Structure 1
Amino acid sequence: MERPSQEPVASAMERTVQPSERHAELALREAAVLMAPIARWLLRHGVPYNAFADMLKSVFVSAAREELELGGARPTHSALSVLSGVHRKDVRNLETSPEPPAAPRSVSLASQVFTRWITDPKYRSAHGKPRRLLRSGADNSFESLARAVSSDVHPRTVLDELLRLGLARLDGDDVVPTRASFVPSRQLDELTALFSSNVSDHIAAAVHNLTVEAPKYLEQSVFADGLTPESIDRLHLCARSAWDSAFASIVGEARERVDADADTESDVRMRFGVYFYSEPVKRPPEASRTTKPTTSAPAPRGKRSRSTHEK
């Protein structure tokens, strides 16, 4: 069956951008915007910057390998190092030992201290539960626990972070754990995997549209500001209703296509998704705003508002 002309074809790709200082500047500028919610997600899960940076080495090397192979080049250690920017020694180590780093390197110090607290028999009661600890002291105190894990950060700083995360509370001179385990539930595991798949495919579609000379994937949005919470709630309900309709339509069509393609050897996957998000607009103080000329008519009563459909 002939492939529709509007469908993106991965095998006939031509780049629309070439590496340059200007393209790198643009990509890094917008990558900071993309990474802000990812950084928030990582921090809320106890992942510090150094662990994320270590993990990114393997991600960059893997992406560099795919880029070299797409271009017909041999992905040698030197070629991978030049393209990815990862040191050749690190590339070689990743190729020979691709296992992820040990757990202590992949979690924050506060998480390490809490894990030690709930697992080390020294800090557990006869019933196997983590004990309340004196805030300070030479032995069997929160101070000694924190210093046993790391002497680089003051125990008070670690305690403040555990209090902020809700993993501990103060009761007079004692520090009391608020939970006896620190293991993500199966449901959270599944939701996290679904989140990464959804967001990854969304970004992959946008990257394709920005960098490849080929038919574009659907990747559009409607956005507006100057709204009240009541209007946000109404728009959210409208978006959910639109998704219900689209979901039923796409699922029905997908089932038909799966049945029609059952006897073929092709194995191409797809994903169709939708999202809705709202938050207060963060505007700079009036005194620090830079006035720029505009051809747009001013909003009434000095209130700025915008509603745009991305093409």
Structure 2
Amino acid sequence: MSVPFSESDPAADPSAPVLADAAVMLAPLVRWLLGHGVPIGSLVRTLKRVYLDEARGELSRRGQRVTDSALSVLSGVHRKDVRALQAETPVERDLAPTPAAMLFTRWITDAGCRDAAGRVLERLPRQGPAPSFEALAREVCRDVHPRTLLQELGRLGLVREDGDEVLRLSDRFVLPGRDPAAAQAMAVNVADHLAAAVRNLACEDPLARLLEQSVFAEGLSAQAAAELGDVAREIWAEALQRMVHEAERRLADDAAAGRGGAARMRFGSYFYMEDGDEDRARAADTGQGPG
């Protein structure tokens, strides 16, 4: 896919190649924004706020005073906008998964929620000792009542009450696209993925770079691509189970040793497929050449 960008001469404007790469990353985001009726003016205002937040951090890392003038020079945001935007209260996003997400993940990864053949139990008793939905809920979060978590997972279409049991309706925690939390989850996942990639670009030591890899194949039939999507889900299910267990073990080790900290991590995997005919149709509609 080709993305139009500034016609400025790359030799005269050293930022042109970087902006061309940024345009590729922004294209899916803009597609999503257009689908939600967000005009470019609103995005520009948000970008100014993000530029100021990051400029503030950059000045602090450099040991420089954070002033309106310094922020304006570094970010390119006009001083009038700097003052106006700094007076606004930023919207905070919780980076941690919700209690409902943690409960569902525990269900599909906990060894105590598997049958003799090692398969994840599709049904759990609603109440009682482990393995039960109530026991899992209290292990994950003591601040939220198990009934509340059950209602939330039911609202998301992930479980259903069946008498005295809870029936699992999905093999992974996937929020409906209409749910506001789905966009929030996308935001933090994509942000951490991009943060890892950006950090690696600035890291000179290959051994210190974070995991950020992908597999690419083209010339596939739609059926073959869909089958590879199923393979990706199988691989992710195995990786999810091991990573959850390893994270829980290290959290327990930290607690036992009386140590802790502010460090956080996120481990993810993604799979994307695109029909070549659809891609060409979209390019024709937007006046772009084939990518």
The reply to whether TM is greater than 0.5 is yes
Equivalent residues in 2 for 1:173-192, closer than 5 Å:
188-192=179-183
d(CA) in 1 for partners of 2:223 and 2:275? 13
Structure-2 change in CA distance of 1:37 and 1:228 (3 Å): same
> 2:242 is matched with which residue: 249, 256, 263?
249
Residue 55 and residue 227 in structure 1: after superposition, are their counterparts in 2 closer, same or farther (change >3 A)?
Answer: same
Q: CA separation in 1, counterparts of 2:247 and 2:48?
A: 37
- In the TM superposition, what is the alpha-carbon distance from 1:70 to its structure 2 partner? 1.2
Q: Which runs of 5+ in 1 are unaligned?
A: 1-19, 101-184, 291-311
The alignment partner of 1:223 has SS state of: coil
In the other structure, the counterpart of 2:254 is 261
Work out the CA distance in 1 between the residues paired with 2:82 and 2:180: 30
State the AA in 2 paired with 1:254.
A
Matches within 5 A, 1:215-294: 215-262=208-255, 263-281=258-276, 282=279
Higher RCO (C-alpha 8 Å, min separation 6): 1
Distance apart, 1:96 and its partner CA: 2.7
> Do structure 1's residue 91 and structure 2's residue 82 form an aligned pair?
yes
- Pick which of 276-285 and 263-272 moved more: 276-285
- For structure 2, the residue ranges without an aligned partner over 5 or more in a row are 1-10, 92-175
Q: Once the two structures are superposed, what CA deviation does each residue of 1:38-76 show, in whole Å capped at 9, x if it has no partner?
A: 001111112111111111111100011111111111111
- Determine if contact 2:222/2:275 at 8 Å carries over to the other structure: no
Structure 1 stretches of 4+ moved >3 Å: 20-23, 97-100, 281-285
Residue of structure 1 equivalent to 2:61: 70
Distance 1:197 1:21 in 2: 36
Q: What is the CA deviation profile of residues 211-263 of structure 1, one whole-angstrom value per residue up to 9, with x for unaligned ones?
A: 24451010000011100011111101111110011011101100001111122
Q: Distance in 2 between matches of 1:237 and 1:97?
A: 45
Amino acid at match of 2:219: G
Aligned to 2:33: 42
Q: How many Å separate the matches in 2 of 1:230 and 1:205?
A: 32
1:204 equivalent among 195, 210, 222: 195
1:57 aligned partner: 48
Amino acid at match of 1:253: E
Deviations 1:110-133, CA, capped at 9 Å, x for gaps: xxxxxxxxxxxxxxxxxxxxxxxx
Alignment CA distance shift 1:86-1:252 (3 Å): same
The two structures have a TM-score, normalised by structure 2, of 0.59
Q: Distance in 1 between matches of 2:63 and 2:247?
A: 34
CA RMSD of aligned residues (A): 2.7
For 2:243 and 2:275, locate their aligned partners in 1 and report how far apart those are by CA, in whole Å.
33
1:31 aligns with 2:26: no
Structure number with larger C-alpha Rg: 1
Residues in 2 aligned to 1:221 and 1:23: alpha-carbon distance in whole angstroms: 28
Deviation track 1:154-179 (CA, whole Å, cap 9, x = no partner) reads xxxxxxxxxxxxxxxxxxxxxxxxxx
What displacement does 1:22 show?
6.3
User: How is 1:103-142 mapped onto 2 (pairs within 5 angstroms)?
Assistant: none
- Once the two structures are TM-superposed, the CA of residue 276 in structure 1 deviates from its matched residue by 0.6
3-state DSSP class of the match of 1:257?
helix
Conservation of the 8 A alpha-carbon contact between 2:49 and 2:85: yes
Q: Secondary structure at the match of 2:217?
A: strand
Deviation, structure 1 residue 203: 0.2
1:202: Cα distance to partner? 0.2
Q: Percent identity?
A: 44
Distance in structure 1 (CA, Å) of the matches to 2:15 and 2:34: 26
Distance in 1, matches of 2:178 and 2:252, equals 31
Between the aligned partners of 2:217 and 2:177, the Cα distance in structure 1 is 37
**CA separation in 2, counterparts of 1:75 and 1:207?**
24
Measure the CA separation in 2 of the matches of 1:42 and 1:95: 24
Count residues with an aligned counterpart: 185
